[in-house]
Amino acid sequence: MTEQALNRHQQHRSKPWGKQVLAALLKRHSARIGLIWIGILVVIATFSPFLASSHPLYMLVDGKVSSPLLAHLSAQDWVWLAAFIFTVLLAKWSRPFWQKLLLWLGLVAVSAVVANTLASPPTLIIYEQYREMQAAGELDQVIYAPIPYSAKDYLRDYANTGVEAPLEATERTHWFGTDENGADVASRMIHASRIALGIGFIATGIALVIGTIIGGLMGYFSGIVDIIGMRLVEIFEAIPTLFLLLSFVAFFGRSIYMMMVIIGITAWSGYARYVRAEFLKLRQQDFVQAAVACGLPLRSILFRHMLPNGLAPLLVATSFGVASAILAEATLSFLGLGLIDDPSWGQLLNQAVQSSTFNWWLAVFPGGAIFMTVFAYNLLGEALRDAVDPHTNRSRRA
Amino acid sequence: MKLLEISDLSTDLGGESQWQSVVKHISLTIESGQTYCLVGESGSGKSVTALSMMGLLPENKFRHPSGSIKLFTDNGNGQELLGGDNALMRSVRGGKIAMIFQEPMTSLNPVQTIGDQLDEALQIHRPDWTAEQRNERILAALKEVMIPEPESRIKEYPHRLSGGQRQRVMIAMALICEPALLIADEPTTALDVTVQAEILKLMRDLQRRYGMGMLFITHDFGVVAQIADIVGVMRYGELVETGPTSEVLRNPQHVYTQSLIAALPERLPRPSRPEKAHQTLLEVNDVAVHFPVRRGLLRRVVDHFRAVDGVSFEVNAGEVVALVGESGCGKTTLGRAILRLQDVTRGQILLNGQDITHLSAKEMRPLRRQMQVVFQDPGSSLNPRLPIHTSLVEPMRVQGIGANDTERTERAAAFLERVEMPTDSLWRYPHEFSGGQRQRLAIARALVLEPKFILCDEITSALDVSVQAGILKLLRQLVDEDNIGMLFITHNMGVVDYLADRMLVMHKAQFVESGDTDSVMQAPKSDYTRTLLAAVPRLDDQYLASVST
C-alpha cells in the first residue's frame, strides 16, 4: 500500500467522539445560552481594565501622548490577556486536546513569570488626578474607558460619597449605583468576574485532577487500594468546606488563591466516586482486557483506554462543580470573610443588607450576575448529560 | 381452525419526517394448534412483526401504511387488532395473546415474588376469581412448566431461579390465562443448549395440551427443525418463503433460504486439513482456579468456588482445539487463566516450553505478543473512543513491531485486507461497523502482533449465521496459513464440527471428554457429551433425510 493511497483513505476520517459530543451539545438551545453567557463573562474578565478604569486609555497633555491605562496594567492583567490570546491561537491548531491543554498551561505559566518580572505598574495610584487635570483644562485630548471608574476608585475628590442609587448623582453617571465606599458598582462587578471565573475553573480543576487520579487507581486496582481510597473519600466528605474556609481565613488571612486550593482539595471526593464507578465497570470490558493482553503499559490502559470512556459523567459533574465553587466564594464574601479591598460579587451582596436601608441595586445586579453564571453552568451540565447519554440518541433504531 | 390472519401488513419506524420501512407487505395465517416459525437474521423485521400484533411498538414512533391483523374467536368472528384502542389491546394482551421475551434475566420484576407476579395477571383477566382459586391456578401453572417444589417457589424472588427456570416462570405467566395464541420472541436464545432443548419440549407439550396457536420467532434453524409446523423466512422486512418445515428445510426454493441453510456451520464444505508436524505450542498441566468465598464480619474464607478444577491439555501449532461447555462450566475462566489475565491457584502453563504461570506483569509483557485473544461481545471488543488505526498501531508500537508509524500503518492496512475489511476502516470508529465487521477488526488487532497462539472466546455466538460462516472460514484459513495454534471456546457443536481438529468437553470445572473432533462427534464416551450433542440437531444431510414429512 502506497503513501498516496493511505493519504487518500485519510479523507474518509470520521469525526472523533469529542467533536460529535460538541456538535450534539451545540444543537441544544440551553447549551448555547449557557455557553454564550460564559463566553461574554470570559471576554469581560479578560478586558476588564479596558472596560472600566479611571485611567484614560489615551490622553494628550502639552503635546505629549500617553496611555496611563496601559502603564497601570498589572501583571495579572497581562496574564489574562496572554491566556486569552493563547486560547484563540491554539483553538485553530489541529492537535489532540490534551496536548493543546498542556501547551496552554505551559504558556500561561511562562507568561505569568515574565509578567511578574517585567510589569511594574506604579504602586501609588491617584485616581483623582485625571479628573482634576480635566477640570483645570490641562487635558487637550482624552479617551476614557466605557465606564470611567476603577474598581477601587472611591471618588475621594467628590467628598462624602457613599451609597448612591443608580443615576442619582448629577455630575457623574453610575449605571448600577455606588457601594458604601463610593466605588462604582458596575466597575466592581466587571472586575469581580475574574474572581468568579477563576475560582470556578481553578478550584474545579484541582478537584478534578485529584479526583481522577485517586478514583482511577481505586477503580482499576480495587481490593486494598479501593478500601483505603474509599475511607479517604469518606473522611473528606465529612469535612464541612465552609467551616474549613472560615478557620483558614481566621488563621492565615484572606487570599483568593488559598480559597481556590481549599475548595479544590475538599471537592475532589465526588469526582473520585464517579471515576471509580466508571473504572470498575470498564475494567471488565473486553477492550480493556484486550489491551492488557496486548501488553500495553498501565499508563496507556488507564488514560487512553479507560479514562476517555469514563469521562461522560465526569464532564457533567464538572460543570455543576464549577457552579458550586462560585457559590461557595460568594457565600464567603457575603459573610464578610472574603477579600477586603478586591471586588467580588458576594461582597457587594453583603453591603446590600449591611446598611440600615435596603440598597436594591447592590442586591439585584451582583445577585443577578451570580444567578446567571450558576444557571449557565447548570444549563451546560444538563445539556452535556443529554449529549453524552447514548440513550437519547437511540430513537432512530428499530 | 383459523386463529390469526395477518394480511398485507407494513410497518414503518421512525418519527416525524423520517420513516424507515421495516416490515413490508407481510401476509400469514396461524391456525389453532399450529406453530408458525418466523426465521430470519437480525434486522429482518421479525420482532417488529410480533410487536405490531401486540400493539407494543413505541408510541408515535411507528405507522402502518397498509395491512390488517385479525384475531378470530371460536365462533369464527374476526376482530381487527391493528389500530385498536388501549382498552381493546389490554383485554387482548395476556388474555387472548400472550408473549414471551428473549431475556429471562430482565423480564421478571426483581422486587416481587414469583407468586405475586403470576397473581397480578390473574387478578386483571379473571376478576371474579377468589384468592384460593387463583392460588390453585398458580400452583397448577407452575407444576405444568415443571418447576420443582412449586409451593415454596411461589414465595421466592426471581434471583433465586436459574435462567431456564425463569423462562419456565415466564411461560407459566404467559399461559396462566389460557391464551389462544402465544408469541415467543427468541425465548431460548439466551439459554444453554440442554436447557433450550427442555424448554422447547415443554412448549411443544403445552401447546398440544391447550391446542393454542404459536408464533415462534428465532434465528436458529436447529430450533426451527425441532418446533415448527410452518416456517416463514424473512429478509429485509419481506417474507421471502413460506411452507411446511420439512419441505423448506429439505428443499428450499428461494435463493436466500438456500444460502442461509448452506451457511450453517455443519453444512459448510469441510476444508482439507494439511498434516502438520507435531509441535507443542501451549501446555496446560493440572490447572485450577479457585475463588475464595468470604462470609461474616471478618470476611473469613469459608470455602472455595472451584471455577476450574485441575485440567490438562495441550495445543499444537497449526491446530484448532475447541473447548465446549455450557455457561458457568469455567471455560472462560480457563481461557483468562491461560492468558494470565487471571491468577491460577495451582498447576502450570507452558508456552513454547517456558513456564509462564508465575511471571510478573513486567516479565509477561514481551510474551504478550505471542498469545492474543478475541472476545465474544462485538459491542465492547474495541475501544469506542479510538479510531481503528490507534487500536491496531498502539500494540505494535509497544511491542516494537515496525520502525515507525508509517510502516505500522501500512502493516495494519495489510492485516485489514487479510480479514477482508476495506483499508479506509483505519480512520473510522467502532460504532460505524456491524457486529461481524467488528469481530473481523478484533481479529485483525490480535493478528498484527503475529501471535503464535490465539484464544477465541465464543467469538461468533452473537453473530448471524451467514456472518458467522464468513468468520469461521477466515479463522481456518489463518490457522492453516500462519501455523497458529488456536483455542476456540464455544457451545455450538456445528462450529466445533467445522473448525476444530480436536475438542475438549468441559462440565462443572473439569474435562469430561477429549479427543479428535470426528471421533468424539461420532462416538461420544460420556453421558454429558451425548446430552450436548442430542440437545439441538445439527442440520446435516443425515438429519434432514430423517425429517418426517
What digits encode the pLDDT tens for the residues B378-389? 888 888 888 899
Q: If you average pLDDT over residues B170-191, what whole number do you get?
A: 86
Residue A200 has pLDDT above 80, yes or no: yes
Contact B14/A at CB under 8 A: yes
How sure is the predictor about A276, in pLDDT bands with cuts at 50, 70 and 90?
A: very high
User: C-alpha A279: how far from its chain's center?
Assistant: 28
Q: Which of A251-255, B30-34, B329-333, B485-489 has the highest mean pLDDT?
A: B485-489
pLDDT in tens, A156-170: 777 777 777 887 777
Q: Which residues make Cβ contacts (< 8 Å) with residue B289, sequence separation at least 6?
A: B306, B307, B308, B330, B333, B334, B337, B342, B343, B344, B345
Nearest residue on chain B to A396, judged by CA atoms?
B14
Taking Cα atoms as reference points, which of B3, B87, B221, B222 lies closest to residue B232? B221
Return d(Cα B164, Cα B141) in angstroms, integer: 16
Contact B19/A at CB under 8 A: no
How sure is the predictor about A396, in pLDDT bands with cuts at 50, 70 and 90?
A: very low
Q: Average pLDDT of chain B? A: 86
Nearest residue on chain A to B13, judged by CA atoms?
A398
- pLDDT value of position B148: 82
Q: If you average pLDDT over residues B125-148, what whole number do you get?
A: 87
Return d(Cα B217, Cα B203) in angstroms, integer: 13
Return d(Cα A215, Cα B506) in angstroms, integer: 39
Return d(Cα B141, Cα B130) in angstroms, integer: 17
Cross-chain Cβ contact B429/A16 below 8 Å:
yes
Contact A394/B at CB under 8 A: no
Give the minimum alpha-carbon distance from B173 to chain A in angstroms, rounded to a whole number.
27
Return d(Cα A39, Cα B310) in angstroms, integer: 65
Q: If you average pLDDT over residues B401-422, what whole number do you get?
A: 89
How sure is the predictor about B275, in pLDDT bands with cuts at 50, 70 and 90?
A: low
Return d(Cα A301, Cα A371) in angstroms, integer: 41
Residue B426 has pLDDT above 60, yes or no: yes
Amino acid letter, B410: E
User: Helices marked H in B399-526 — which ranges?
Assistant: 405-418, 435-447, 465-482, 493-499, 517-522
Q: Name the burial class of residue A21, with classes exposed (0-12), middle (13-18) and buried (19+) by CB atoms within 10 angstroms of its CB.
A: middle
Output DSSP code: residue B432.
G
Amino acid letter, A178: T
pLDDT in tens, B231-261: 999 988 889 999 998 888 888 889 999 888 8
Q: Residue with C-alpha cell 513491531?
A: B401
**Selected residue with higher pLDDT from B351 and B544:** B351
Contact A3/B at CB under 8 A: yes
* CA torsion, ordered A256, A259, A265, A266, to nearest 10 deg: -150
- Beta-carbon-side half-sphere exposure of residue A93 (alpha carbons within 13 Å): 14
How much of chain A, in percent, has pLDDT values that exceed 70? 94
Give the minimum alpha-carbon distance from B383 to chain A in angstroms, rounded to a whole number.
6
Contact B402/A at CB under 8 A: no
- pLDDT value of position B54: 84
Report the run of H or E that residue B36 belongs to, with start and end.
Answer: strand B35-40
- pLDDT value of position B93: 83
If DSSP codes are grouped into helix, strand and coil, which group holds residue A188?
helix
Contact B442/A at CB under 8 A: yes
**What DSSP line would sit under A258-274, residue for residue?**
HHHHHHHHHHHHHHHHH
Prediction ipTM score? 0.79
If DSSP codes are grouped into helix, strand and coil, which group holds residue B451?
coil
Amino acid letter, A40: I
Q: Residue with C-alpha cell 502639552?
A: A62
Return d(Cα A20, Cα B432) in angstroms, integer: 13
Q: If you average pLDDT over residues B3-9, what whole number do you get?
A: 88
CB-closest option in B381, B427, B432 to A286 = B381
Q: If you average pLDDT over residues A278-290, what whole number do you get?
A: 89
Give the minimum alpha-carbon distance from A6 to chain B in angstroms, rounded to a whole number.
8
CA angle at A257 for the pair A152 and A239, rounded to the nearest 5°: 125
Cross-chain Cβ contact A398/B365 below 8 Å:
no
Return d(Cα B53, Cα B51) in angstroms, integer: 5
CB-closest option in B375, B409, B410 to A290 = B375
Taking Cα atoms as reference points, which of B533, B527, B462, B535 lies closest to residue B497? B533
Report in angstroms the alpha-carbon separations of A338 from A243, A245, A247, B282.
Answer: 13, 10, 12, 69
Residue window 304-333, chain A: list those with CB within 8 Å of chain B.
304-305, 308-309
3-state helix, strand, coil in chain B (%, to 5): 40, 25, 35
Q: If you average pLDDT over residues B405-428, what whole number do you get?
A: 89
- pLDDT value of position B549: 46
Long-range contact list for A236-240, CB < 8 A, 24+ apart? A236/A265, A236/A266, A236/A268, A236/A269, A237/A269, A239/A266
Query: Which chain B positions have a beta carbon within 8 Å of A304's beta carbon?
Result: 386, 394
Q: Which residues make Cβ contacts (< 8 Å) with residue B354, sequence separation at least 6?
A: B367
Q: If you average pLDDT over residues A366-379, what whole number do you get?
A: 91
Query: Which chain A positions have a beta carbon within 8 Å of B418's beta carbon?
Result: none
Output DSSP code: residue B28.
E
pLDDT in tens, B520-542: 888 899 999 988 888 877 777 77
Q: Are A164 and A158 in contact (CB under 8 A)?
A: no
Return d(Cα A359, Cα A375) in angstroms, integer: 24
If DSSP codes are grouped into helix, strand and coil, which group holds residue B242?
strand
- pLDDT value of position A12: 58
pLDDT in tens, A98-129: 888 899 999 999 999 999 998 888 888 888 88
Q: Name residue B6's beta-bridge partners.
A: B28, B69
Q: Average pLDDT of chain A? A: 85
Contact B434/A at CB under 8 A: no
Report in angstroms the alpha-carbon separations of A295 from A289, A380, B373, B398.
Answer: 10, 39, 12, 8
Amino acid letter, B352: N
Taking Cα atoms as reference points, which of B49, B48, B52 lies closest to residue B83? B52
Relative to beta strand B78-80, strand B68-72 is: antiparallel
- pLDDT value of position A1: 43
If DSSP codes are grouped into helix, strand and coil, which group holds residue A45?
helix
Residue A261 has pLDDT above 80, yes or no: yes
Relative to beta strand B354-355, strand B346-351 is: antiparallel
How sure is the predictor about B547, in pLDDT bands with cuts at 50, 70 and 90?
A: low
User: C-alpha A228: how far from its chain's center?
Assistant: 32
pLDDT in tens, A299-338: 888 888 888 888 888 888 888 888 888 888 888 888 877 7
- pLDDT value of position A397: 35
Q: If you average pLDDT over residues A165-191, what whole number do you get?
A: 85
- pLDDT value of position A119: 83
Residue A252 has pLDDT above 80, yes or no: yes
Query: Which chain B positions have a beta carbon within 8 Å of A293's beta carbon?
Result: 339, 341, 368, 371-373
Contact A9/B at CB under 8 A: yes
Q: Which residues make Cβ contacts (< 8 Å) with residue B186, sequence separation at least 6?
A: B47, B102, B217, B218, B219
State the Rg of chain B over Cα: 26
Return d(Cα B16, Cα B21) in angstroms, integer: 14
- Beta-carbon-side half-sphere exposure of residue A16 (alpha carbons within 13 Å): 13
pLDDT in tens, A45-97: 999 999 998 888 888 888 888 888 888 888 889 999 999 999 999 888 888 78
How sure is the predictor about A2, in pLDDT bands with cuts at 50, 70 and 90?
A: very low
Query: Which chain A positions have a beta carbon within 8 Å of B48's beta carbon?
Result: 398
Q: Between A and B, how many residue pairs show a Cβ–Cβ distance under 8 A? A: 110
Cross-chain Cβ contact B424/A9 below 8 Å:
yes
CB-closest option in A6, A290, A295 to B409 = A6
Strand B502-507: give its sheet, edge to edge.
B371-374, B453-457, B485-490, B320-324, B502-507, B510-516
How sure is the predictor about A395, in pLDDT bands with cuts at 50, 70 and 90?
A: very low
Cell matching residue A102: 498542556
Query: Which chain A positions have a beta carbon within 8 Å of B43's beta carbon?
Result: 398
Cross-chain Cβ contact A295/B373 below 8 Å:
no
Give the minimum alpha-carbon distance from B462 to chain A in angstroms, rounded to a whole number.
14
Q: Are A130 and A71 in contact (CB under 8 A)?
A: no
Cross-chain Cβ contact A286/B395 below 8 Å:
no
- pLDDT value of position B304: 83
User: C-alpha A396: how far from its chain's center?
Assistant: 38
If DSSP codes are grouped into helix, strand and coil, which group holds residue A308?
helix
Number of H helices and E strands in chain A, helices first, is 17, 3
Contact B383/A at CB under 8 A: yes
Report the run of H or E that residue B343 belongs to, with start and end.
Answer: none
CB-closest option in A9, A285, A294 to B368 = A294
B149: alpha, beta or left, given left = phi > 0 and alpha = psi -120 to 50? left
Contact A223/B at CB under 8 A: no
Chain A interface disruption, residue of B234, B418, B424, most A CBs within 10 A: B424
Residue A10 has pLDDT above 60, yes or no: no
Query: Which chain B positions have a beta carbon within 8 Å of A296's beta carbon?
Result: 394-395, 398
CB-closest option in A1, A13, A398 to B410 = A1
Chain A interface disruption, residue of B383, B411, B417, B450, most A CBs within 10 A: B383
Residue B66 has pLDDT above 60, yes or no: yes
Cross-chain Cβ contact A14/B432 below 8 Å:
yes
How much of chain B, in percent, has pLDDT values that exceed 90? 14
Chain B interface disruption, residue of A7, A8, A9, most B CBs within 10 A: A9
Return d(Cα A207, Cα A219) in angstroms, integer: 17
Q: If you average pLDDT over residues A172-190, what whole number do you get?
A: 87
- pLDDT value of position A43: 94
How sure is the predictor about A277, in pLDDT bands with cuts at 50, 70 and 90?
A: very high
Q: Which residues make Cβ contacts (< 8 Å) with residue A13, sequence separation at least 6?
A: B387, B427, B428
Residue window 236-295, chain A: list those with CB within 8 Å of chain B.
285-287, 289-295
- pLDDT value of position B548: 54
- pLDDT value of position B456: 92
Nearest residue on chain A to B58, judged by CA atoms?
A395
